[in-house]
Amino acid sequence: MTNWLVFVESNTSGTGRLFAKAAREQGLTPVLLSLDAARYPYVIEDNLLTVEVDTRDQHSVLAAYRKLATDGIVAGITSSSEYYIAMAASIAEQMRLPGPEPGAIQRCRDKAWQRYQLRKDNIPVPDFYLASSPIAAGEFAQRIGYPLVVKPVSGSGSIGVRFCRNREQVLAHATHLLEQTANERGSAAAAQILIEAYAGGTEYSVETFGLEVVGITRKYLGALPNFVEMGHDHPAILSAEEREAMERVVRETLKSLGLGWGPAHTELKLTEKGPVIIEVNPRLAGGFIPELVRFSCGVDLIRETIRFVTSKEVSLTKKYQRYSSIRFLLPEEEGIISGIWGIEEAKAVSGVESVMLYKPNGWMFRPQGDFRDRIGHVLACGNSPGEALEAVEEAMRKITINVSQAPSNFGDQ
């Protein structure tokens, strides 16, 4: 009898494909419930079974689940997508399968609610206001002071997050966000936005499972005013005091938000006054961070998440200590990708574990100012931070991306 592992949608790059692969390795049959499976190229490449269903509607998802249950045993249900983790949690609860508390997940996806809850519990967060009009955004910006950040109250991948230096920039970006009626997944966009103080300092993320800290990742951001993540290092090089402070505040944060079941990815800044929480994602990290963790210490967070949602024992025991770095490939200008050279040469660099392209030649690139600008990556490992960094940088230097001029009507597409 088939043992299904049900995925409600997927992220468009990274761990979605790895989740399906890991499910098969554990003797499970992965099945993807999706409104439009064509958005995931790996589905066809990996011959992944899909079921077309309106994943925005809980009744439709539940009906699809029950149909699968008549054809086999559903061992678990989850999602690798920020936008569908609450849906998966709700179905798991109704079907008495392992999963996080749906209400906690749904509340946590609201960044404004996160801020209010953490501030109430005296956990450090940037000063913030919730605005429902550009005028209000401008008024709140004056109270906070410049520079600051304007962002949606939900979402992922830094979509819609903008650094603003003055009132004009705040008004322009607030107007842009509030005019959006749907997000990039087609769901209704919130009618409010966050205006928050800019937290200086280096950005990190803390990867946890339950309340156990698995590791801390150093994050590298591109040029302002956007917050595109250009790369990560794991584990981050920190003093004992810095590490202890981050781990302590993240555990307090998870408890405050009613989390502590399964994986979570907490982003923070290490400021002059100590760690400041930027946001909490009640799911595994994106950006191939689970792969960095696996190469660094042997803990496979994707595998252990699958074991967790299918009622199996989880092991977070570290098997070794290495260092890993990932850097993302981004075109430097708008246009058509007409050639990518040096991939094989990059793969041949000692220490390189993975070189991957997400977009083919002929793809029309238009900068979005978020994770969608990334067209590939290089991932390398070493026995020291320096070895990993040297390998990933050498491999990146070997890759050339050629961009040709876009057609005159490109902006209309």
Length of the chain: 413
Which one from 283, 322, 327, 374 is the annotated catalytic residue? 283
Verify that 156 and 213 share a domain, yes or no.
no
Strand ranges (E), 240-399: 263-271, 274-281, 323-329, 335-341, 352-357, 364-365, 376-382
**Tens-digit pLDDT profile for residues 65-113:** 999 999 899 999 999 988 899 999 999 999 999 999 999 999 999 999 9
In a domain, 175, yes or no: yes
Tally of domains within the chain: 3
Q: Is 312 helix (H, G, I), strand (E, B) or coil?
A: coil
pLDDT in tens, 249-261: 999 999 999 998 9
Q: Are residues 258 and 143 in the same domain?
A: no
Distance CA 86, CA 205 (A): 21
| Domain contains 376 | yes
Same domain, yes or no, for 61 and 156? no
Q: Do 54 and 188 have their domain in common?
A: no
* Residue 283 falls in the annotated catalytic set: yes
Element (H, E) at 202: strand 202-209
Give me the residue label for tokens 């994707």: 302
Q: At what angle do helices 289-297 and 301-309 cross, to 10 degrees?
A: 110
Residues 34 and 169 in one domain: no
Q: What is the pLDDT of residues 326-372, one digit of tens each?
A: 999 999 889 999 999 999 999 999 999 999 999 888 889 988 889 88
pLDDT of residue 413: 43
Q: How confident is the model at residue 208 (pLDDT cuts 50, 70, 90)?
A: very high
User: Residue 107: what are its φ and ψ, rounded to 5°?
Assistant: -65, -40
For residue 305, pLDDT over 90 is answered with yes
Mean pLDDT of 272-296: 95
Strand (E) positions, 41-192?
A: 49-52, 72-78, 128-131, 148-152, 162-164
Give the Cα separation of 15 and 225 in Å (integer): 27
**Which pTM value belongs to this model?**
0.92
Question: Are both 268 and 356 inside the same structural domain?
Answer: yes
Q: What is the pLDDT of residue 161?
A: 94
The predicted-structure confidence for 150-197, as pLDDT tens digits, reads as follows 999 887 778 899 999 999 999 999 999 999 877 665 666 778 999 999
Better pLDDT: 213 or 360: 213
Give the bridge partners for 149, in sequence order. Answer: 163, 196
Q: Say whether both 317 and 333 belong to one domain.
A: yes
Cα-based angle 226, 227, 231 (whole degrees, multiple of 5): 135
Asked if residue 273 is part of any domain, the answer here is yes
The domain in which residue 152 lies consists of 127-197
**pLDDT at residue 187, as a whole number:** 65
d(C-alpha 69, C-alpha 80), whole Å: 21
Q: Is the Cα dihedral 249, 255, 257, 260 positive or negative?
A: positive
Residue 135 has pLDDT above 60, yes or no: yes
| Paired strand residues for 325 | 233, 380
Q: Give the DSSP letter of residue 46.
A: T
Cα diameter, the chain? 63
> In the prediction, which pLDDT does 184 show?
66
Over residues 218-239, mean pLDDT: 96
Q: What does the pLDDT look like over 27-43, one tens digit per residue?
A: 999 999 999 998 888 89
